[in-house]
Amino acid sequence: MDDQTKARLSLRTLAAQALGMHDPVTKGIVQPIHMSATYLRDSDNGYRAGYVYGHTDNVSVQQAEHLIAALEGADEALLFGSGMAAATTVLLALEKPTHIIASQVMYWGFRSWLREIGRYGHTVTFVETSDLDAVRAAVRPGETGLFWIETPSNPLWTITDIAAICDIAHAADALVCVDSTVATPIFTRPLALGADIVMHSATKYLNGHSDVIAGALAVASDGPLWRRIAKMRGQLGGALNPFDAWLLMRGMRTLDVRVRAQAKSAASLVERLVGHPAVSTVLYPGLATHPGHAVAMRQMTGGFGGMFSLRIGKGEKAAIAVAACVELWKRATSLGGVESLIEHRASIEGEGSPCPGDLLRFSVGLEDADELYFDLTRALSVAL
Ligand SMILES: *Cc1c(COP(=O)(O)O)cnc(C)c1O
């Protein structure tokens, strides 16, 4: 598919047809999985096909990367063995010791790694990035080189204004990387809002079936940092394997319909849970009462995602008891799959977490929303 066609078609069509790729040998409408770890050298010692070794050269991985790049409106995308591998590679590829501004509320695993980033010569300031004045105050001219923001952010679903952050960052000559795992390209396209790099834990919505661990980076335009990231992925051996890339491609074909249905169910559940006597706060950017709602209305198109959290009025023990009583919702970490998950986040996040003890996180799957509602309200009755 050429660039003009890609620009004309909806993300739904691009994903459903996997950019119209097919197998050139058999004309199969689904591509084979390319498993070869190494490639034949030509007799004149060259590699005319352009494929040398599996660390970096794999057609199945590249095909999934092309689709992600199209979905994000990116110049290029790279797949990694996990979201963490993708995220950490950005930092490891920074040219020199850098001051990093990062969202206070974000995926706990990456935050805990960032807390120890001093080992690599960098410094980090965690800021409530939904507060633009706080962000401006945190900038150190000449030192701040990277902004790392997550929106909506785990597990409070705070909203950071991507375009406003990009203005602040670019005025300071810094780059902006957005963890857009929760929003997906269907609801937010960070690169179009000015971000330099967008990151996904493809383990979540992009794959959507809880059977692949993968991570992706996509870049607005090629540059020195991106070249170092690409090189380092080979050096560290961090690329995704072809079988998982193929599964990811299969998952992404239904991304648009999945996330729209998940967001619709989440909105319907949230609407009915507001005012529930066991619940002190419902956290969802689609609610008019959510502090980030106005920015979310501007920045998110077509939906507010499939994630929400509840704070339980009676506190932490009651929250854990609610999670123990659901039958349909599955008690498990992760998010974005077709099955709905419930999790008491404070139990997993540990030290330094801004997550309140009374909070339960919900990842809405593709089950019937009424059945999810009845299961949850039955469980909530233990916290009245
Ligand atoms: C899960 C997750 C990650 C980490 O991704 P893995 O694929 O589990 O390594 C990063 N950011 C967010 C928002 C996530 O939900």
Atom of ligand 1 nearest to the CA of 84: 9
Within this chain, do residues 261 and 198 fall inside the same structural domain, yes or no?
A: no
Pocket of ligand 1 (CB under 6 A): 82-84, 107, 109-110, 150, 154, 179, 181-182, 201, 203-204, 213, 215, 335
Within this chain, do residues 102 and 195 fall inside the same structural domain, yes or no?
A: yes
Atom of ligand 1 nearest to the CA of 214: 7
Mean pLDDT, rounded, for 102-119: 94
Who contacts 52 (Cβ-Cβ below 8 Å, separation ≥6)?
Answer: 38, 39
**What 3-state class would DSSP assign to 250?**
helix
Within this chain, do residues 273 and 136 fall inside the same structural domain, yes or no?
A: no
**Ligand 1 center to residue 350 CA distance, Å?**
16
Q: Which residue has the tokens 């529930």?
A: 276
- pTM equals 0.97
Atom of ligand 1 nearest to the CA of 203: 7
Which residue's alpha carbon is nearest to atom 7 within ligand 1? 83
Number of Cβ within a 10 Å radius of residue 197: 26
Cα distances (Å, whole numbers) of residue 140 to 93, 116, 339: 21, 20, 44
Q: What is the pLDDT of residue 349?
A: 85
- Give me the half-sphere count of Cα atoms (radius 13 Å) on the Cβ side of residue 211: 13
Out of 188, 217, 252, pick the residue that ends a domain.
Answer: 252
**pLDDT surpassing 80 at residue 352:** no
**pLDDT surpassing 90 at residue 25:** yes
Within this chain, do residues 292 and 202 fall inside the same structural domain, yes or no?
A: no
Mean pLDDT, rounded, for 305-322: 98
Within this chain, do residues 98 and 34 fall inside the same structural domain, yes or no?
A: yes
CATH number of the domain that 353 lies in?
3.90.1150.10
Cα distances (Å, whole numbers) of residue 275 to 263, 267, 271: 20, 15, 9
**Ligand 1 center to residue 57 CA distance, Å?**
25
Number of Cβ within a 10 Å radius of residue 190: 30
Within this chain, do residues 223 and 288 fall inside the same structural domain, yes or no?
A: no
- Domain that residue 28 falls in: 3-252
**pLDDT surpassing 80 at residue 351:** no
Within this chain, do residues 150 and 267 fall inside the same structural domain, yes or no?
A: no
**189 touches 58 (CB < 8 A):** no
Q: Which residue has the tokens 């034949």?
A: 40
Q: How much is the mean pLDDT over the chain?
A: 96
**284 touches 264 (CB < 8 A):** no
**Ligand 1 center to residue 83 CA distance, Å?**
5
Within this chain, do residues 233 and 152 fall inside the same structural domain, yes or no?
A: yes
Q: What is the pLDDT of residue 280?
A: 98
**Ligand 1 center to residue 291 CA distance, Å?**
24
Within this chain, do residues 324 and 225 fall inside the same structural domain, yes or no?
A: no
Within this chain, do residues 196 and 277 fall inside the same structural domain, yes or no?
A: no
CATH number of the domain that 90 lies in?
3.40.640.10
Mutate which of 80, 88, 107 for ligand 1 pocket (most atoms within 8 A of beta carbon) = 107
**pLDDT surpassing 80 at residue 79:** yes
Please state the domain count of the chain.
2
Who contacts 319 (Cβ-Cβ below 8 Å, separation ≥6)?
Answer: 311, 312, 344, 357, 358, 359, 360, 383
Q: Which sign, positive or negative, has the C-alpha torsion 341, 347, 351, 353?
A: positive
CA angle 112, 127, 88 (to 5 degrees): 35
Which residue's alpha carbon is nearest to atom 6 within ligand 1? 83
Eight-state DSSP code of residue 266: H
CA angle 38, 40, 44 (to 5 degrees): 140
**pLDDT surpassing 90 at residue 278:** yes
Within this chain, do residues 275 and 247 fall inside the same structural domain, yes or no?
A: no
Distance CA 273, CA 267 (A): 10
Name 201's bridge partners. 215
Within this chain, do residues 104 and 244 fall inside the same structural domain, yes or no?
A: yes
Task: Look up residue 135 and give its two tokens.
Answer: 């962000």
Out of 228, 252, 276, pick the residue that ends a domain.
Answer: 252
Out of 197, 231, 252, pick the residue that ends a domain.
Answer: 252
Mean pLDDT, rounded, for 63-83: 98
Q: What is the pLDDT of residues 202-241, one digit of tens each?
A: 999 999 999 999 999 999 999 999 999 999 999 999 999 9
